[in-house]
Chains A and B, each alone.
Chain A
């Protein structure tokens, strides 16, 4: 079964809109949750969240982790066409002291229209 589930699958908005992307997870040894932006090729790192309730913010993007609800949201305010991408959520499980794997969700495809 899917350990990391993202919603919605896709989203079309207009420039200036605010969007909220969701990620829920179900893993045994949670260590951290990461958000990535994937445009044409490589996922590029946005945020890593390890503590519940703390908001990480970078410009128009922000994210919060809710460890009680096993979920996270990624908010993008005042969207621009350059925000169009697939947003990936990944969860890191702590199985060892070295090289913890990430389990990715299926992503949310965001399209921002002019």
Chain B
């Protein structure tokens, strides 16, 4: 069964550093998403991406965050100048938009120290 692949599975970074989280969505999917889940809290929407541009973003997704689909297969989330409160599990998801539900990746656990 096709999967959404995320790398790395765990990243530890120092406060103030930049991180890039990588995702390879399912190949025939058209919509791409980033969500995050702070430990013990709800899964929260960050951003959706379609047709090479952001289609929707939440209040969490401020200027510190950016997304890119640099080469037609990878989908990346960049967090500039990380803060302690950015520590969370970050999930990538993709969807082909025909009411079949998202497929989530296995997540990247980001720990900011």
Contacts and interface: CB of A to CB of B under 8 A. Distances in A.
Contact of A32 (B48, B99, B103): B99
Interface residues of B, number: 28
A43 B43 contact: yes
B4 to A, nearest CB: 8
Given A96-B55, A99-B48, A99-B56, A106 B104 contact: no
B105 A98 contact: no
- The range of chain A's interface size is 20 to 34
Contacts of B14: none
Interface in A39-59: 41-45, 47-48, 50
A41 B99 contact: no
A23 interface: no
B75 interface: no
Contacts of B44: 104
Nearest to A43: B104
Contact of A96 (B56, B100, B104): B56
B90 to A, nearest CB: 11
Interface string B78-102: 0000000000010100000101111
Q: What are the 3 closest A-B residue pairs judged by CB atoms, nearest first?
A: A99-B48, A99-B55, A98-B50
